[in-house]
Amino acid sequence: VLAETLSASIVGVDGLPVRVEVDVAFGLPALTIVGLAGSQVLVARERVRSALRNSGFEVPARRITINLSPADLPKDGTGYDLAIGVGILAASGQLPATARLGETALVGELGLDGALRPVPGTMALAAAVHEAGVPALIVARPATSEAAVVAGLRVHGADSLGEAVSHLAGVRDLPLAAMTRLPATRGVVGGPDLGEVEGQALARRGLEIALAGRHNLALCGPPGIGKTLLLRCAAGLLPPLEDDEAIEVSRIYSVAGLLDRRAPLLRARPFRAPHHTISTQALVGGGPRVRPGEASLAHRGVLLLDETLQFRSDALDALREPLEGGSVTIARVEGALTMPARFTLLAAFNPCPCGWRGTRTRACTCEDGTARRYMARLSGPLRDRIDLWVTMVQPEALGGRELDGVEPSAAVASRISGAWRSQLQRQRGANGELSAGSLDGDHGFGKDAIGIIAQRGRQFALSPRRMHRTARVARTIADLAGVEIVAREHVDEALSYRGAVAA
């Protein structure tokens, strides 16, 4: 006897509907799962068998074959348990083939006692199910608010296999979950306040521009000068996620299993600061079971690489693709998969291994060659993608600076937010993502601005890519000033962050 249930699988950060076909036939008792099932799916046999028995059902002493279709897609995870268990019950006649069975997708892991447990990526799975035209979904109760993000999908939460089966059989209905709404505000974001940062006006300005227009920023300076403190302030300066961004980002966090199930929709822009010992896979994603890396977790937000030059060089190189294209592609034997990773890079590093090169009052103890090789860890292509360079210098030895005039985060955040609004109104995207073709009158680039960019490009021997990046930064500086037309002073300020010519 053949039965069919619906479930879904995670591919990268997207869901894909999966059909679970169960055939119960005469023969020696056996339970076989086919269809490119990974090791976690294969051991589902034991979990499902126990769960069925402990829920008061019977595991037929027959030859049971389970096929996960599409069969050419590699599947892993424990989310198919419920669909397999229900499929066996339907194929063995313990559950009548109701209309409900045909229109309800089943996602969840089974415990040996028949309890239903949530799985990572529920949000993406629910979205995939909905897109495939399935009207209803049963998930573990804790995961209902995560699944109920998808508008138009009927989501039911069940605590056990038994409850799910009762609902499908029409014996006792599960309650319908209420639609999960986006939080109105991003809530309180941790991290230091700019009001605690002494001096360093140029670096503060650089950070403000970088966050306002989503440009990549590099801070270079001796140890202890405040690079880390300043960049950690970024978390509190970011504007909240837009509605569509919130759903996009929350889905990635759902797949990574990082969501708070009680408040599954994120409003705060991601701020990720991985340690420099991170592996390449953890940074950009990948691994035997592909999971989103830090680059994808920083999607639509900030990726802070403190001590950038201490990161593995292959990890840094792997960031080239997301920095240029806004996504990560992972090639595997079964085919490539793509995950979004459009982040603002904040980099901070010392000028040399000992850290004191170029400072006035302390001797650098590094060999010239060592220092050069150190800086060369930031490869040319990566260097090219950094829009703003700020060299931080120690404040003058004499003459203390008072903290009175220092602007707190709130004031800077409101300027950033204003600049972000003007960008959304003008072009529905960040200045940092403007294409070369958009440097026109519609974007506030008059003849004068284009002319001054070309002239300065010749004077300072800039590559076309650099000139283009300068124009985008100038656009943000004008937005921060609340000006629609880009002027000479905006271009000149943008150029002041162009970075030193390699000495």
Partner 1 sequence: MIGVGASGPLAVASEPGGGWATAALGALDPVAEQPYWIALSLVPGVGPVGFARLLHRFGSGRAAWAAGRSLLTELPRLPDDAAPALARLRREGAAAVSERVTIATERAGGAVITALDGRYPPSLAAVDPRPAVLYVAGDPAAMEAVCVAVVGTRRATGYGRACAAEISDELARAGVTVVSGLALGIDGEAHVAAVAAGGRSVAVLPSPLERIYPPRHRDLAARLVATGGALVSELAPLHSPGRPDFARRNRIIAGLARAVVVVEAPDRSGALLTVAAAIDYGREVFAVPGPIDGIASRGCNRLIADHQATIVTSAAGLLHRIGAEPGGRPVSVASLSDAEGMVLNSLLQRPASIEELIGRTHLATGSLASTLTLLESRGLAESYGGATFHPTLVARRIGRAVDLKR
Number of residues forming the site for partner 1 (CB under 8 A):
42
For residue 338, the minimal CB distance to partner 1 (Å) is: 37
* Helix 447-459 with 464-480: angle, nearest 10 deg: 130
Q: Please select the residue that binds partner 1; options are 99, 185, 190, 360, rule is CB under 8 A.
A: 360
Q: Which stretch binds partner 1 (CB under 8 A): 48-56, 262-270, 423-431, 481-489?
A: 481-489
Binding mask 428-467 for partner 1 (x = CB under 8 A): ---------------------------xx--xx-------
Nearer to partner 1, 271 or 497 (CB): 497
CB 51 within 8 A of CB 114: yes
Q: Please select the residue that binds partner 1; options are 393, 406, 450, 483, rule is CB under 8 A.
A: 393
CB atoms within 10 A of CB 111: 15
Which residues, numbered 293-352, are part of the site for partner 1 (CB under 8 A)? none
Q: Which stretch binds partner 1 (CB under 8 A): 279-287, 305-313, 318-326, 492-500?
A: 492-500
Q: Which stretch binds partner 1 (CB under 8 A): 63-71, 85-93, 134-142, 488-496?
A: 488-496
Assign 442 to helix, strand or coil.
Answer: helix
Contact between 397 and partner 1 (CB under 8 A)?
A: yes
Q: Which stretch binds partner 1 (CB under 8 A): 151-159, 173-181, 196-204, 231-239?
A: 196-204
CB atoms within 10 A of CB 185: 8
Contact between 395 and partner 1 (CB under 8 A)?
A: yes
Nearer to partner 1, 185 or 459 (CB): 459
Nearer to partner 1, 83 or 230 (CB): 230
CA distance 374 to 434: 32
CA distance 379 to 381: 6
Q: Is the peptide bond before 120 cis (omega within 30 degrees of 0)?
A: no
CA distance 214 to 432: 5
Nearer to partner 1, 76 or 493 (CB): 493
For residue 499, the minimal CB distance to partner 1 (Å) is: 6
Q: Please select the residue that binds partner 1; options are 243, 334, 367, 396, rule is CB under 8 A.
A: 396
Binding mask 198-237 for partner 1 (x = CB under 8 A): -xxxx-xx--------------------------------
Contact between 374 and partner 1 (CB under 8 A)?
A: no
CB 296 within 8 A of CB 340: yes
Closest Cα partner for 295 from 311, 272, 277?
Answer: 272
Which amino acid makes up residue 485? I
Helix (H) or strand (E) holding 109: strand 109-110
CA distance 253 to 249: 6
Point out which residues pair with 306 in neighbouring strands: 348
For residue 292, the minimal CB distance to partner 1 (Å) is: 36
Q: Which stretch binds partner 1 (CB under 8 A): 20-28, 74-82, 363-371, 435-443?
A: 363-371
CA atoms within 13 A on the CB side of 317: 6
Q: Please select the residue that binds partner 1; options are 99, 171, 184, 363, rule is CB under 8 A.
A: 363
Cα 470 to Cα 72, 379, 463, 490, 503: the distances in Å are 47, 20, 11, 10, 21
Q: Please select the residue that binds partner 1; options are 39, 185, 361, 435, rule is CB under 8 A.
A: 361
Count the residues in the chain.
503
Q: Which stretch binds partner 1 (CB under 8 A): 142-150, 289-297, 304-312, 358-366?
A: 358-366
Alpha helices, DSSP H, located in 105-200? 122-131, 144-147, 161-169
Assign 10 to helix, strand or coil.
Answer: strand
Interacting residues toward partner 1 by CB under 8 A: 199-202, 204-205, 357-358, 360-364, 368, 389-393, 395-397, 399, 401, 455-456, 459-460, 477, 480-481, 488-490, 492-493, 495-497, 499-500, 503
